[in-house]
């Protein structure tokens, strides 16, 4: 049985020598006269001499700017740090400059409506330039917002690159989002153009979005144009909206040669895109990033922490409503191809993604730990079924990964595999802690802190913690911090989100432990973490233990503060078909928690539930359930439009009502 911290893999000498990190170390030695013994020494320099580090990335990646910058960083403050003032860059220009001879693949793409196909870099560049030119013709100017309600397909990526290329501000929503969720997001930023598809297919079922698009358009008076993509009905010749432009009509224009196309190089503080928090409570935060911040961060991420190279192929299962979509596309910066997939990850067969990985020659495969658990329960062993000879790395993201998930890959996929677990957030469009190809892999452990990310674990009173669980904080600024929240004119909401606990220090809202070798463990959100009689318990460790009990399919736990300093910590379990919450199952769950964790991890009650509520981005809705049980009005505690399974919430609302009646009686 694999245990947390067990050594699972060590990189070969050749793997280390051929890595992008090692190439960068050689460059620092030859061009800066800097010698670092190992990754840890490099990291410490990157968070100590932060101006020198980020300037080295500017030079190493040969950032193209039409004007020189005045200084790397104006001052080491958060929030408010200004990076590379005076420069003018364009994110899309760098995404598309690695065109080479044009025949290299840019996208491998597949969906439940389309077979696997490939688009090369020349064709991608051609379509982006045409769409960008047509957007300019429609009156889109730098700073205008362009949004999409489209699936994870090439057309969406092309629309994003085209909008960014002319200095417009991009934002996207996945087509499975409900109308209210989309309007809550897009109404904040008042878009000028909407790209919309007629629907999508998931698990073999078509979902029309024509009615939803009409409602969204009616609620956005700022729109001057809708570009319509017939996706489910590709033969449709007339859009269902008056004055809408068909996607094919937008593309039906002559190519704009590369040397004649002008990218809009924008100022250091010009917004690139707006991404949104999950929106489970309150109005979603409209988080704006800059071209410079995302460009430098994604160059660093794709090269050093994902080790992507020309000829490589990156896949991560995501939708256009999750920040991972933006991150996956950044693989183009490294000259790698990107795999776009739209549909169910387990339809028509549970191994559909692995078949696609084999056929595309995927080198970096990404998914959530939840997906791994599905495969493990089904007894799948993709490494024995498909040719995965080109696969050299795995990216796990979205939630904490267990030692068992790590072990499954080495057992069922490939023994020689750089397995990475990484953690960050929508707020930075990247990761705080992640991977280096020069380091070994330990079960359940995130390898290291990312370069330039001055990450620490702090106690509630701001003390540094070693090998103890604490708040994840960042003590120095970094370029991919949000430049602002849209509409937050005085920065009040931005400050309250990250800086109200430790002034001048970014508090992310995750619990983290950093061990002596620099390995990291994420223990769930600190604002939903269980605080029971002063002992802080990460929900991730509860789930890891509970979901090893044979009868348990899924689980959710919360801890509610009660009057008099008391606590109520119920555990909710969704059981496998045919199973009931008998006394023996309860005893097994409690025994597992007591043995694997501690007596304090044993819940006050265990309830069998029909379902566990999830957000559209795959997060368990711990905070909304906790608020409901503490007496919040359900519509104030949770947005059903931001859920994958809205009816799941009804059971918890009924429980809260029963508890309230009992308390009154």
Give the pLDDT means over successive 10-residue stretches in the chain (665 positions).
93 98 98 97 98 98 97 96 98 86 93 97 97 98 98 98 98 90 93 98 95 97 98 92 95 93 96 80 82 98 98 96 94 97 95 98 92 88 97 88 90 96 92 98 96 96 94 97 95 92 94 95 75 67 88 93 74 96 96 81 94 88 90 88 91 93 76
Q: What is the CATH number of the domain that holds 507?
A: 3.40.50.12780
Q: Evaluate whether residue 35 is within a structural domain.
A: no
Count of structural domains, the chain: 2
Cα 164 to Cα 128: distance, rounded to the nearest angstrom: 10
Strand partners, 633: none
499 and 582 share a domain? Answer: no
331 and 281 share a domain? Answer: yes
Contact 369, 376 (CB under 8 A): no
Cis ω for the linkage preceding 348 (within 30 of 0): yes
548 and 473 share a domain? Answer: no
Summarised one tens digit per residue, pLDDT across range 62-71 is 999 999 999 9
Strand partners, 431: 424
590 and 512 share a domain? Answer: no
226 and 361 share a domain? Answer: yes
Q: What is the pTM of this model?
A: 0.87
- CB-neighbour burial class of residue 353 (10 A; exposed 0-12, middle 13-18, buried 19+): buried
Last residue of a domain, one of 498, 520, 542: 520
Contact 81, 251 (CB under 8 A): no
Give the pLDDT of residue 280.
40
Local structure of 462: helix, strand or coil: coil
Last residue of a domain, one of 503, 520, 537: 520
- First-last CA distance in the chain: 49
Q: Evaluate whether residue 194 is within a structural domain.
A: yes
Q: Which domain holds residue 317?
A: 88-520
Q: Evaluate whether residue 14 is within a structural domain.
A: no
- CB-neighbour burial class of residue 238 (10 A; exposed 0-12, middle 13-18, buried 19+): exposed
Contact 472, 450 (CB under 8 A): no
Cα 224 to Cα 217: distance, rounded to the nearest angstrom: 10
Give the pLDDT of residue 564.
52
117 and 160 share a domain? Answer: yes
Cα 363 to Cα 311: distance, rounded to the nearest angstrom: 9
Within 13 Å and on the Cβ side, how many CA atoms surround 6?
Answer: 13
Pairing of the two strands 145-149 and 169-173: parallel
- CB-neighbour burial class of residue 599 (10 A; exposed 0-12, middle 13-18, buried 19+): exposed
If residue 453 lies in a helix (H) or strand (E), which one and from where to where?
A: none
Contacts of 212 (CB under 8 A, 6+ apart): 149, 178, 179, 182
Give the pLDDT of residue 665.
65
How far CA 231 is from CA of 91, 109, 150, in Å, comes to 28, 14, 9
Cα 452 to Cα 30: distance, rounded to the nearest angstrom: 21
93 and 153 share a domain? Answer: yes
The alpha carbon of 320 is separated from its chain's Cα centroid by a whole number of angstroms, namely 10
Q: What is the CATH number of the domain that holds 566?
A: 3.30.300.30
269 and 290 share a domain? Answer: yes
Cα 416 to Cα 393: distance, rounded to the nearest angstrom: 9
Contacts of 49 (CB under 8 A, 6+ apart): none
Q: Evaluate whether residue 144 is within a structural domain.
A: yes
429 and 532 share a domain? Answer: no
Last residue of a domain, one of 500, 520, 540: 520
Q: Evaluate whether residue 25 is within a structural domain.
A: no
515 and 560 share a domain? Answer: no
245 and 393 share a domain? Answer: yes
474 and 611 share a domain? Answer: no
Give the pLDDT of residue 565.
58
Pairing of the two strands 423-425 and 430-434: antiparallel
Residue with tokens 């997060």: 619
Cβ count within 10 A of residue 325: 20
Contacts of 56 (CB under 8 A, 6+ apart): 28, 32
Cis ω for the linkage preceding 370 (within 30 of 0): no
Strand partners, 522: 512
> CA-based angle 452:506:68, to the nearest 5?
45
How far CA 430 is from CA of 240, 302, 328, 427, 463, in Å, comes to 38, 10, 10, 8, 26
Contacts of 242 (CB under 8 A, 6+ apart): none
Q: Evaluate whether residue 448 is within a structural domain.
A: yes
The alpha carbon of 88 is separated from its chain's Cα centroid by a whole number of angstroms, namely 27
Q: Evaluate whether residue 44 is within a structural domain.
A: no
Summarised one tens digit per residue, pLDDT across range 42-67 is 999 999 999 999 999 999 999 999 99
Q: Evaluate whether residue 656 is within a structural domain.
A: yes
């Amino acid at each position: 049985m694999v245990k947390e911290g067990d050594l699972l893999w060590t990189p070969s000498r050749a793997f280390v020598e051929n890595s992008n990190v090692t190439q960068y170390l050689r460059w620092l030695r030859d061009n800066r006269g800097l010698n670092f013994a190992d990754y840890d020494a490099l990291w410490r320099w990157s968070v100590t001499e932060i101006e020198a580090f980020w300037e080295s990335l500017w030079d190493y990646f040969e950032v193209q700017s039409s004007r020189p910058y005045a200084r790397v960083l104006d001052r080491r403050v958060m929030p408010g740090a200004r990076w590379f003032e005076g420069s003018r860059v364009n994110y899309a220009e760098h995404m598309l400059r690695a065109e080479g001879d044009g025949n290299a693949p840019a996208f491998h793409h597949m969906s439940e409506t389309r077979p696997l196909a490939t688009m090369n870099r020349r064709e991608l560049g051609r379509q982006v330039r045409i769409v960008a030119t047509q957007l300019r013709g429609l009156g889109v100017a730098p700073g205008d917002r362009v949004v999409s309600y489209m699936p994870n397909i090439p057309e969406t990526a092309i629309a994003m690159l085209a909008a960014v290329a002319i200095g417009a501000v991009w934002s996207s929503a996945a087509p499975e989002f409900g109308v209210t969720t989309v309007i809550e997001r897009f109404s904040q930023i008042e878009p000028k153009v909407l790209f919309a598809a007629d629907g999508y297919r998931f698990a073999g079922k078509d979902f029309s979005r024509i009615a939803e698009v009409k409602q969204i358009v009616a609620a956005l008076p700022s729109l001057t144009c809708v570009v319509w993509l017939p996706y489910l009905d590709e033969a449709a010749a007339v859009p269902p909206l008056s004055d809408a432009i068909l996607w094919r009509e937008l593309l039906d224009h002559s190519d704009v040669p590369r040397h004649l196309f002008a990218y809009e190089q924008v100022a250091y503080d010009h917004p690139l895109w707006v991404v949104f928090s999950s929106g489970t409570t309150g109005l979603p935060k409209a988080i704006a990033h800059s071209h410079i911040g995302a460009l430098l961060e994604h160059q660093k991420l794709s090269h050093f922490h994902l080790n992507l190279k020309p000829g490589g192929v990156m896949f991560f299962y995501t939708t256009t409503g999750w920040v991972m979509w933006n991150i996956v596309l950044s693989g183009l910066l490294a000259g790698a191809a990107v795999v776009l997939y739209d549909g169910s990850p387990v339809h028509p067969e549970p191994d559909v993604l692995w078949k696609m990985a084999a056929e595309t020659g995927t080198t970096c495969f990404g998914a959530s730990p939840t997906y791994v658990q599905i495969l493990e329960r089904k007894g799948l062993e993709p490494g024995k079924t498909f040719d995965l000879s080109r696969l050299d790395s795995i990216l796990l993201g979205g939630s904490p990964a267990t030692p068992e998930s790590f072990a499954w890959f080495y057992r069922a996929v490939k023994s020689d595999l750089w397995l990475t677990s990484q953690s960050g957030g929508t707020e930075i469009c990247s990761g705080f802690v992640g991977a280096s190809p020069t380091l070994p892999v330990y079960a359940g452990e995130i390898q290291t802190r990312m370069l330039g990310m001055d990450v620490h674990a702090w106690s509630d009173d701001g003390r540094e913690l070693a090998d103890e669980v604490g708040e994840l904080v960042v003590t120095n600024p970094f370029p991919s911090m949000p430049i602002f929240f849209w509409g937050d004119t005085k920065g009040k909401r931005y400050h309250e989100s990250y800086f109200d606990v430790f002034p001048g220090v970014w508090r992310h809202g995750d619990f983290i432990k950093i061990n002596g070798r620099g390995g990291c463990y994420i223990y769930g959100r600190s604002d939903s973490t269980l605080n029971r009689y002063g002992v802080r318990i990460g929900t991730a460790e509860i789930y890891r233990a509970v979901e090893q009990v044979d009868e348990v399919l899924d689980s959710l736990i919360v801890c509610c503060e009660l009057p008099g300093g008391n606590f109520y910590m119920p555990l909710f379990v969704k059981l496998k078909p045919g199973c009931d919450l008998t006394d023996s199952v309860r005893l097994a769950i409690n025994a597992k928690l007591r043995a694997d964790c501690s007596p304090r991890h044993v819940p006050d009650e265990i309830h069998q539930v029909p379902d566990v509520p999830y957000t559209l981005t795959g997060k368990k809705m711990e905070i909304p359930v906790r608020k409901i049980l503490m007496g919040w009005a359900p519509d104030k505690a949770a947005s059903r439009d931001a859920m994958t399974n809205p009816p799941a919430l009804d059971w918890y609302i009924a429980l809260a009502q029963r508890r309230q009646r009992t308390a009154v009686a």
